[in-house]
Amino acid sequence: MHWALRSNTARKCWLLISSHVFYACFFIGEPAVFLDHLARGEWAQLPPGWWFPAVLWGSTCMDYAVGLGIAGASSERRRKVWLFTSLLVNLGVLCFFKYFNFFITSAAGFLDWFGLHTSLHTLNIILPYGVSFYTFQSMSYSIDVYRRRLDPVRSFLDLAFFISFFPQLVAGPIVRATVFLPQVAAKRLWANVDVRGCATLFFIGFVKKACVSEFAAPFSDAFFAAPEKYSHGGALLGVFFYAMQIYCDFSGYTDMAIATARLLGYELTLNFDFPYFSRSITEFWRRWHISLSTWLRDYLYISLGGNRGSKLFTYRNLMLTMLLGGLWHGASWNFVIWGGLHGAALIVHREWSRLTENAGVAFRRVLAILAVPLTFYWVCITWIFFRAAPTYNEKTHVLEASGLHNAWVALKAFTFTGGRGKTTFSIECLGILIVLAVLHWLNSQRIPGTWWRRLPDWACAVLLGVATAVALLFVPVKYKPFIYFQF
């Protein structure tokens, strides 16, 4: 339907409507039943969160007005007032839905430390899908207009289309207005679409999520449900399984989102670049969730002052950025700890790089050998706290608590400082992990090549069809939602 429409405006209208219908379907349940209740005025029978698409529309309308307001402001003070309005509303929406209960319970716990017992009440707040992603996209538009990096958009259709574009709406990547809006201005051509490359990328993303991540999930779930029962070897494999699960889950979604956008003629932001082969934690954050890490760098770290000051000032900004980046993932101290561990590692790496910049050749060779496994090991340590954080329940639409206790038990077993359990995983599980790691490394080296591009169209279609049929044989019957949908 998209390509059948001739005008660019008609295509954008069609995709805008489709994107909002796509988003609404996460909340309204069965459309026919929802519309029947709506027509009868049976408001109590409507599903929880049926009105969440209005939040998305509200954010879009507000930042459209802010962009025009900044452009038409007669003084710098008024420009700042408009920008503050965008930040206040967007962050206010994000804080209410995501952090209200967290702040209430944390404040109550803090007061309890001083013997001041309180009777604070929490709310049964439902978390809208994708709220963290589209608020960041919306804010980036207003900030870029304020910084004069982008002219304000006069067409409301263009801005609404940019914020709600369905492939990246609920789980990223976080696309910048400076990247996407220029694409919206020009009519996309089918002749420029790499159909074979898009289909292949989508298939790879599907295999990552439906086959690899879903295969790893039961093993990591079993370990984190009762880490005290596992031996050191079992703890290693359990955490490695989770590292594989979250990477394949998130990067798999990103691959499918990018492929879908390309089939429609649009290019999204690269989000992963084989992060587990990073040689330092700094390099890891240049390869993992790239759209978020660059967003935090450009709009938070630099706004705090970046490295324009003393070493202590720079490290403070770095730590604050990572702490808030951890909190962005969810309302839990586990995420804050996860961000703090990464912030500490980034600071340590900077100091280590400074101290070893004049090291000898032999020492550098040893570091080159150990860099990747040590970085991966540290990343896995941080994943323990990430995994132990509250998880989103698809049926109740609320966060279910986990706890720091399990994280601490899992950490001791993983680092060989505790844990006396006897349970472990089979040797076959270790073999599968090794095979998948080797295949991933070969792919990072581009060893598979592009031989498939030289095949005739019919042969490539048959090959992709057969590969999909084989992949479907390995898809578990019970589906697990994408991990990053909860953020």
What is the CB-side half-sphere exposure of residue 430 using CA atoms within 13 A? Answer: 8
Residue 374: count other Cβ atoms within 10 Å of its Cβ.
14
* Residue 423, beta-bridge partner list: 230
In the block, tokens 């505790």 appear at 418
Assigned token pair, 483: 């991990």
Angle formed at CA 173 by CA 170 and CA 174, multiple of 5 degrees: 90
The DSSP bridge partners found for residue 462 are none
Q: How far is CA 445 from CA 140, 205, 213, 285, 439, in A?
A: 34, 18, 22, 20, 10
Nearest of 323, 375, 358 to residue 344 by alpha carbon: 323
Residues 6+ apart with CB under 8 A from 256: 167, 201, 202, 205, 206, 209
Lookup: tokens for 13: 């209208």
For residues 233 and 365, what is the distance between their CA atoms, to the nearest angstrom? 29
Give 400's strand partners: 391
One-letter amino acid for residue 404 of the chain: L
The DSSP output letter for 51 is T
| DSSP 3-state percent helix, strand, coil across the chain (nearest 5) | 70, 0, 30
329 among known catalytic residues = yes
- Residues 126 and 398: beta-carbon distance below 8 Å: yes
Distances (CA, A) of 74 to 69, 79, 148, 154, 412: 10, 8, 15, 18, 60
Selected catalytic residue, list 37, 289, 329, 342: 329
**Residue 113 CB-density burial (10 A; 0-12 exposed, 13-18 middle, 19+ buried):** exposed
Tell the residue number behind the tokens 């507000």, with chain if given. 62
- Where do the DSSP E strands lie in 28-124? none
> What is the identity of the amino acid at 247?
Y
* Residue 48 φ/ψ, nearest 5 degrees: -60, 135
Contact 375, 342 (CB under 8 A): no
The residues that are catalytic are 329
